[in-house]
Amino acid sequence: MEEVVLEKNDEIVMKLLYFFITEYSYSPIILHGAKNEIWLENLNSPYKIVRIVTNYIHNNEQLDFDLFKTKKIVGKIKKKTFTFNANTLSIFVNLGENVQFENYIHNKNSDCANISDIEDFKKYSFVIETFPTITKTTKFKEKGLELFTKITAEINSKNEVEQKRAEDIFKPKKPIITYILIAINVLVFILMYLFGSGSQNISTLINFGANVSFFIKNGEYYRLFTAAFIHIGIIHLIFNMYVLYVIGSQIESFYGKRKYLAIYIFSAIMGNLLSVLFLGNGISAGASGAIFGLFGALLYFGYNYRVYLGTVMKSQIIPLIILNLSMGFVIGGVDNLAHIGGLIAGTLISMAVGIKYKTTKTDKINGIVLSLIYFIFLCIMLFK
């Protein structure tokens, strides 16, 4: 059999794809009209975008146009993925001798490297600092078809792992905790009529644990929790339970049952805690604070999976949150402070409990610290 020989540039590209995909979990970006270049992204990496350019660039004018075009594409990716700084590394493997490359190595949020061999990366300290094993990991004994087969198998194996992870996160799961929470809310609502004077009677609301500033400041802290399961009127109950079913089912599926319950309870308590600061002599109740905490959890999840949900974030999640908050300011009798308190709490506690395959240990520690600071701050404000 005749031996298959890879062109040198093709071999470099194969090795680089192997390195960035298998070692640093970069994913290919599909771009229409981008010829002779490969775009990779990892939004958790110092270089969020890496592009490997095989197109022959003859002179500085062509290189200027290439970098101008790259800047425009990166701008679109930033909007789609809600990324403020998308540091980019452009690796050129086919530059002409007429290009004066030294003036292009460092640009705003963009670095460039020109290589004809993997070892050439040693000339670029910023690459070695970010990817210290790039010259070692890409050394292979195999050549030609054998090298192509080995690298392809490794990349496919890595992609299979990532695909299984995505399936694990996004596959629908039965929302058992959501059903239980809805059942508890409905049961409490019925009990207020069986053992009290109804869901709109002030004495009944107080007896069942509604949010009242005077009682909480005098030691009845349980109201911060129980108030989240009490609703004032059937419309209030139906609306909240519908939203809880829609949003809760998603959060329970994305985060898992235990984390979902932690998000719900913490958001409910913190929403009621912020509410009671400005409640005066009023009374409040409802699952809205907890539900807005779930909105915060959805926001945090969407941001971490913005490669998949970037468009949904812009077109659905963020507008939905803004719409609901705006309605709270316009419609009378709505406890918008509980909404805001729950939204903040849900976002912070989501970072603390973490998202499977995404949240790092540092992220979790930061989430725990911020959640504690938020809780302590509200407590100090309430009991000062």
Residues annotated as catalytic (active site), given as ranges? 288, 339
Distance CA 189, CA 195 (A): 10
Distance CA 150, CA 306 (A): 31
Distance CA 263, CA 266 (A): 5
Which structure tokens are listed for 168? 């694990």
Alpha carbon of 382 to those of 107, 200, 212, 214, 228: distances in Å? 50, 27, 12, 11, 19
In this structure, are strands 37-41 and 27-28 parallel, antiparallel, or unpaired? antiparallel
Distance CA 188, CA 231 (A): 9
Which residue, 341, 349, 308, 304, is CA-closest to 325? 341
Distance CA 337, CA 271 (A): 7
Distance CA 126, CA 88 (A): 12
- In contact, 165 and 254? CB cutoff 8 Å: no
Distance CA 223, CA 313 (A): 34
The residues, any chain, with a CB within 8 Å of residue 16's CB and separated by 6 or more, are 52, 91, 118, 138
Distance CA 131, CA 338 (A): 46
Dihedral angle of Cα 301, 303, 304, 305, to the nearest 10 degrees: 80
- DSSP H stretches of helix in 315-360: 318-330, 336-353
Distance CA 158, CA 42 (A): 14
The residues, any chain, with a CB within 8 Å of residue 1's CB and separated by 6 or more, are none
